[in-house]
Amino acid sequence: MPEKQQEFIPVYLFLGFLEAGKTLFMQDALEDAHFANGERTLLLVCEEGMEEYDTSKFEEYGITMRTIEDISELNERSLEQMAAECRAERVMIEYNGMWQISTLFENMPDDWAVYQAVLIADATTFMQYNANMRSLVVDKLNMAELVYFNRFTKDMDPKEYHQIVRGVSRRTDIYYEYPDGEAVFDDIEDPLPFDVNAKNIVIEDRDFALFYRDLMEDTKKYENKTVTFKGLAVRNPTFPPNIFAVGRHIMTCCVEDIQYSWIAAQYGRSFTPHKDHWVMITGAIEVRFNQMQGVYVPMLHVTRLADADPPEQPVATFY
């Protein structure tokens, strides 16, 4: 029987800014016995810092390294060619911290799939990057399943770093590595500012962004739950007359990334909201599986609807 071909090439994505320690982190991974198991690996280096890879065992481990010096080289044809030349079974990418993740996804071959994304961050410079290049930091945090803060010292407060990560994702694992090599897992609890077990979950205006993100990340948790919140009602002409969108504009990091985040609401009768129509809405959440997207999505069955004044801050944030 012929060997079954692999359906996709797994991609291990390593994110971070210059001199964050990505190269050393990846070198350790490449030499780890659990990882260096003989699979043909294409190592793409999109950012060259002070540290260089020790390539002395790359041939033995089946590793082929290629350098991408300009973002124009990050195109599907070039990536396919490099993978074909070494018959890659997996890909590791040291990504350039100044490039948006979307550039990679727009140019990645169809048979590549990101298997894991790790953000390596230098704790001594992370706060500066977050203050001055917030959009790039959020771009990386949005993708990362794990954030690894190295060069962490005892005088640093993990809660400050924790808050920045959790402002973008509640599911990302966080580790802090101290100068002696000790790596500590972040086990700081993040209680939601509302009671998900309440008979009616009332969402305050200031908490909408947290509620919406948690709803989308852990949708099934809200199945058959009743919620009340203030939202902006919008009518899409393609919707049936008794269905409309309700949500808020949410800003993750900066003005440029503000977007209307909504869920579908089903009402017992026809409803046509006017422009800038704010409502106080109560309804029960039904969870449906969207086969096209392969995800669970919420539908709000409205039981109470009333006009409302806009919140003090119409754009919702995580802070």
183-233 pLDDT per residue, tens: 999 999 888 889 999 999 999 999 999 999 999 989 999 999 999 999 999
Domain for residue 196, yes or no?
no
Tell whether 231 and 179 lie within a shared domain: no
121 pLDDT tier (thresholds 50, 70, 90): very high
167 occurs within a structural domain:
yes
* Pairing state between β 243-250 and 226-234: antiparallel
Region 261-272 average pLDDT: 93
Whether pTM > 0.85 for this model: the answer is: no
End-of-domain residue from the set 160, 185, 210: 185
219 and 170 both lie in a single domain: no
CB atoms inside a 10 Å sphere around CB 78:
15
Lowest mean pLDDT among 34-43, 63-72, 85-94, 183-192: 34-43
pLDDT-derived band at 3 (thresholds 50, 70, 90) equals very low
Q: Is the pLDDT of residue 2 over 70?
A: no
What mean pLDDT do residues 74-98 have? 95
Domain check: are 94 and 129 in the same one?
Answer: yes
Residues 177 and 246 in one domain: no
Residue 104 pLDDT: 95
Q: How confident is the model at residue 35 (pLDDT cuts 50, 70, 90)?
A: confident
Residue 136 has pLDDT above 90, yes or no: yes
Q: What is the pLDDT of residue 4?
A: 44
**Residue 253: pLDDT band by 50, 70, 90 thresholds?**
low
Give mean pLDDT, residues 150-179. Answer: 92
Please enumerate in sequence order all residues whose Cβ is within 8 A of that of 163, keeping only pairs 6 or more positions apart, or say none. Answer: none
- Split at pLDDT 50, 70, 90, the class of 256 is low
Same domain assignment for residues 209 and 157? no
Residue 37 in this model has a pLDDT that exceeds 80: no
Q: What is the mean pLDDT of residues 301-305?
A: 97
* One domain, residues 170 and 91: yes
Cα(248)–Cα(205) distance, integer angstroms: 10
Q: What percent of the chain has pLDDT over 90?
A: 76
Residues 81 and 118 in one domain: yes
DSSP conformation class of 298? E
Name the residue range of residue 232's domain: 201-316
Task: Look over the chain and give the mean of its residue pLDDT values, rounded to a whole number.
Answer: 91
Q: Give the Å distances, CA to CA, from 249 to 115, 211, 226, 257, 259.
A: 31, 13, 22, 10, 5
Per-residue pLDDT at 148 exceeds 90? yes
Residue 1: pLDDT band (50, 70, 90) is very low
Residue located via tokens 């393609």:
238
- Residue 169 shares a structural domain with residue 39: yes
pLDDT at 255: 66
| Residue 51 confidence (pLDDT) above 50 | yes
Predicted pLDDT at 191: 84
Residue 142 maps to a domain: yes
Q: Provide the pLDDT confidence category of residue 155 given band limits of 50, 70 and 90.
A: very high
Q: How many structural domains comprise the chain?
A: 2
Q: Is the pLDDT of residue 156 over 70?
A: yes
CA atoms within 13 A on the CB side of 137: 23
Q: Which residue has the higher pLDDT, 36 or 148?
A: 148
Q: Do the bridges between strand 277-290 and strand 112-122 make them parallel or antiparallel, or are there none, so unpaired? A: unpaired
We report the CATH number of the domain holding residue 166 as: 3.40.50.300
